[in-house]
Copies of this chain bind each other. A is one copy, B any other.
Amino acid sequence: MTSSIASTADVSERAQLGENVTIGHGTIVHDNVVIGDNTRIDEFCVIGNDTGASQPPLTLGAHSRIRSHSVIYEGSTFGDRLETGHHVLLRAGANVGVNFRIGSYSSLEGAMNIGDYCRFQGGVQAGPGSQLGDFVWIFSNVVLTNDPLPPSHLFRPVTIEDGAVVALGAMTLPGCHIGKGSFVAAGARVSTQIPAGVFVTGDNTIAGPVTKLMDLQAGTRHPWMRHFADVFPDDAQSRISALHEEVLSAAKEWRNQHQSVSVRNAKPANV
């Protein structure tokens, strides 16, 4: 199939479009852009903004969907099946794996690494230098910071390992490191090294293994891989299973090391 470009769109002749690409009303595609097959870009987007520096092209993988009013600079690479909300901003230098989904009003603010199958909700700001593994969940209004003494030239970005979850409005402060499958509660603040398989509340308070994080009413327990793997495509399932085992081991190990700590009462996830 050939591509479908709206008559009001403005697509550079130098941009490289795959098969069956759709470009929506008004959208502008600048020169330094490579778009994979079957990708659809909706209305009023700006694709491949010129940074003024020499940059590699913006590469958008196949089967992607970019929703309206999004802005994506040259100099970043996104794997297949990227999906954005509306009014998203992706600046130059992001190196992102497959099937990244990023919600409306969220932004990647510069050079960073994001693994496969990550999920961001709306209003997230990811600062330059962020290092995210695979299957990371970032909920609304989280800011991934990097400056420990704002404003300064110090640069200490955050690291978030595979399968970790940062809930609504939590603050990941400069230099923090969140281990595999750990969970940061809504409104919590993390500025330190958090091991794998635990959950964090308040200010860096490790409140127990992530397996203690339970919805009492439904009986559903974390980690999320046991009850939410079905939202990912088939090709991700074996990796999720392996990650689940790793997180369970880490949670068990943490519990063994902290047997004297009282963590008897399961906590609702958002407290």
> Which A residues have a C-beta under 8 Å from some C-beta of B?
8, 10, 25-26, 28, 42-44, 46, 49, 68-69, 71, 85-87, 89, 104-105, 107, 109, 119, 122-123, 125, 137, 139-141, 143, 145, 148-154, 156, 165, 167-169, 171, 173-174, 186-187, 189, 191, 203, 213-215, 217-218, 220, 222, 224, 227-228, 231, 268-271
Contacting residues, chain B, for A46 (C-beta < 8 A): 25, 42-44, 68-69
Additional A-B contact list (14), CB under 8 Å, known A42-B46, A49-B68:
A8-B26, A10-B25, A68-B71, A69-B69, A85-B89, A105-B105, A123-B123, A143-B168, A148-B269, A149-B222, A150-B167, A154-B215, A173-B268, A191-B270
Contacts of A107 in B (CB 8 A): 104-105, 122
User: Which partner residue on chain B sits nearest A145 by CB separation?
Assistant: B168
* Contact yes or no, B89 A71, CB < 8 A: no
Query: 8 closest pairs, A vs B, by CB?
Result: A149-B269, A149-B215, A173-B270, A25-B28, A46-B68, A148-B215, A43-B46, A151-B228
Q: How far is the CA of A149 from the CA of B219 in the complex (A)?
A: 11
How many angstroms between the C-alpha atoms of A97 and B87 in the bound complex?
Answer: 26
| A269 lies within 8 A of B150 (CB) | yes
For A86, what are the chain B residues with a Cβ–Cβ distance below 8 Å? 71, 89
A224 to B171, CA, bound (A): 22
Q: Which residues of B contact A25 (CB under 8 A)?
A: 10, 28, 46
Smallest Cβ-Cβ distance to A69: which chain B residue: B69
Quick check: B151 and A137 within 8 Å, CB to CB? yes
Q: Are A186 and B171 in contact (CB under 8 A)?
A: yes
Contact for A227 among B152, B168, B173, B215, CB less than 8 A: B152
B218, A174: Cβ atoms closer than 8 Å: no
User: Is there contact, CB below 8 Å, between B68 and A152?
Assistant: no
If A89-B86, A269-B149 touch, whether A168 touches B171 (CB-CB below 8 Å) is yes
In whole angstroms, what is the CA distance A151 to B121 when docked? 11
Q: How far is the CB of A153 from chain B (nearest CB, A)?
A: 7
Closest to A271 in B: B191
**Which of A25, A44, A68, A165 has the most chain B CB within a 10 Å cutoff?**
A44
